[in-house]
Structure 1
């Protein structure tokens, strides 16, 4: 299985906080999961801890390398820039990562994060989704001490919501009405 590729200043173990969440499920593939992940404005529909997603450049709805966006999560207003993007192919995993920040540079309450995702097909009709985040700053140190861990729990909700939304999308129109 593949691993996240870290920028030198965000390597886990050398930052103030780190979280890692992963799911492996059968019956889905990376190409089915990918659009729900990289179309960031869809996040609030399946992940309650995200809100007010908007693109700074006003030029699209999909995360791509270099694109700036904004969203709110864990009570932080996050400015972000996509720093890695590669859609999944038959032979390689999908990768998307962004540098996010809340606060002004040199402000002691600033939070800086590197949030990365890896979506890869596995044998037997399975998909693996890995999301990891490293954080720096006083808020990161506080989050690292919190019990239960809000980052681990929040990102697990994100993964589970992403899987559920992908299954609904795969089932096609009308399926949602059957669940109500």
Structure 2
């Protein structure tokens, strides 16, 4: 199976926090899932932990390489820039990723959040989301039990699948 492309400095195991969530679902395609991720203003409609999505410089929606945007999640106001945007295509996985940051000094949090969506044989789709985090807030998040990032990203995946199955990707 395909894997996430990690930018320099964000390889899992070399950051303060790393989370990985994945689902494989029958009866959906990457093309059905894609719009729900590619258009961040849709995130709050199926994931309660995202809010106040705004694009800078009248960019978007949808996302594209280099597009800057803002959203709130896990109590953090996140500035973000899309740095990977590959829509689904026959025989190749869809990819979307952004670098996000919040805070300054000891409260600074930097993340690379990536998604991979690929059609699998038998009418199935695989949705993988992984995030690496750097900074003191990332250290604190990594130590929390249960891990709020793993649980939050699972809620995002579950909501994404439910929305795609309900036909909200049109």
Q: Kindly name which structure, 1 or 2, has the bigger radius of gyration based on alpha carbons.
A: 1
What secondary structure is seen at the aligned counterpart in 2 of 1:169?
coil
After TM superposition, where is structure 1 displaced by more than 6 Å over at least 4 residues in a row? none
Q: Give the structure 2 partner of residue 177 of structure 1.
A: none
Give the TM-score normalised by the residue count of structure 1.
Answer: 0.92
* Per-residue deviation, 1:170: 6.4
Q: Which runs of 5+ in 1 are unaligned?
A: 173-180
Matched, 1:13 2:13: yes
Q: Give the structure 1 partner of residue 28 of structure 2.
A: 28
Q: Give the structure 1 partner of residue 107 of structure 2.
A: 109
What secondary structure is seen at the aligned counterpart in 2 of 1:108?
helix
Q: How does 1:30-179 map to 2 (within 5 A)?
A: 30-104=30-104, 107-169=105-167
Specify whether residues 16 and 171 from structure 1 end up closer, same or farther in structure 2 by C-alpha distance, changes over 3 A only: closer
* Per-residue deviation, 1:52: 0.2
CA distance in 2, matches of 1:28, 1:65: 26
Aligned positions, number: 170
* Per-residue deviation, 1:171: 9.8
What secondary structure is seen at the aligned counterpart in 1 of 2:31?
helix
